[in-house]
Amino acid sequence: MKKYLFGILLLVLSLGNLFAQEPIADNRGYLVQVGDRAPDDFELILHDGTKTSLKDLRGKIVVLQFTASWCKVCREEMPHLEKELWQAYRDKDVVLIGVDRDEPLETVRKFHADMKISYPLALDPGADVFARYADRKAGVTRNVLIDKDGVIRYLTRLYDEDEFKGMVAAVDKLSRE
């Protein structure tokens, strides 16, 4: 009987350890999936000094673009985000925030000006916000589309025209709901 109980105890402890581990990244480096509630336990400090959070933005459609000034693909994608997403949907309860990975304020401000974008960039010291969504070792650019209820509806990685169009279509659909 003791062996039986000991075996059950080991099984329970093993299962507990399995569920207590850190999330495992998917093949694109994401720790989150479409359908998950978006991690929102953080504050974003924007390049102009204002602050916001996903909790403050609940009720709006939010796109978090994880980016960095040194990222060539990010620079390729940003004009498309500006024109096809931000300019087209900002008056339809859509918020786009570029979350700049681990760069100082002056670099982020220069990046914002150089890219000639009007959507805000946020600071992400230590890539702590990034690490809530993707493996800290994974790269940028990536976009996370979050609906009005805080649920992740679309994920992108790198800049792929078809995937980008799919994200814009998803934003369009959500903006009509």
* Of 46, 134, 147, 136, nearest in space to 98 by CA: 46
Write down the domain spans for the chain: 26-176
Q: Between 3.40.30.10, 3.40.630.30, 3.30.300.30, 3.40.50.300, what CATH number should domain 26-176 receive?
A: 3.40.30.10
Percent of all residues in the chain with a pLDDT value above 90, rounded to a whole number: 83
pLDDT band with cut points at 50, 70 and 90 for residue 41: confident
pLDDT band with cut points at 50, 70 and 90 for residue 70: very high
pLDDT band with cut points at 50, 70 and 90 for residue 28: confident
End-to-end CA distance of the chain: 59
pLDDT of residue 153: 98
**Is residue 44 a contact partner of residue 75, using CB atoms and an 8 Å limit?**
no
pLDDT of residue 13: 43
115-174: pLDDT as tens digits: 999 999 999 999 999 999 999 999 999 999 999 999 999 999 999 999 999 999 999 999
pLDDT of residue 10: 42
How is residue 97 written in tokens? 């925030």
**Is residue 147 a contact partner of residue 61, using CB atoms and an 8 Å limit?**
yes
Helix (H, G, I), strand (E, B) or coil at 163: helix
What number is the average pLDDT over the span 46-64? 96
**Is residue 72 a contact partner of residue 115, using CB atoms and an 8 Å limit?**
no
pLDDT band with cut points at 50, 70 and 90 for residue 8: very low
How far is it, in rounded angstroms, from Cα 109 to Cα 106? 5
**Is residue 96 a contact partner of residue 119, using CB atoms and an 8 Å limit?**
yes
pLDDT of residue 21: 46
- pTM given for the model: 0.85
pLDDT of residue 139: 92
**Is residue 60 a contact partner of residue 148, using CB atoms and an 8 Å limit?**
yes
Average pLDDT, the chain: 89
